[in-house]
Amino acid sequence: MSERAAPFYCPYCGDEDLRPHGHRHAAWECAACNRAFQLTFLGLLARGSHTDAEGERT
């Protein structure tokens, strides 16, 4: 597994022209829409667990 996983496209405009943003871990910038964003891993879900729109378990 790599130390820094790269996204395939910008979550805002869908363009693929992405570059690492500064020295922050998991931070990326899109040259097409001039936005910077950060990807984070929230954790593993229990099998069969579902959440609603507010993130509450049902």
Contact at 8 Å (CB) between 12 and 27? no
Continuous H helices in the chain: none
Whole-number pLDDT of residue 38 = 92
What pTM was computed for the model? 0.64
Q: Please indicate, yes or no, if residue 34 is contained in any of the structural domains.
A: yes
Q: Which residues span the domain enclosing 23? A: 1-40
Give me the tens of pLDDT residue by residue for the chain, a chain 58 residues long.
Answer: 445 568 999 999 999 999 999 887 889 999 999 999 998 888 888 887 676 667 676 5
Residue 14: which residues within 8 A CB-CB, separation 6 or more? none
In a domain? residue 1: yes
- Sheet containing 18-20: order of strands: 18-20, 27-30, 35-38
Instruction: Give the chain's domain count.
Output: 1
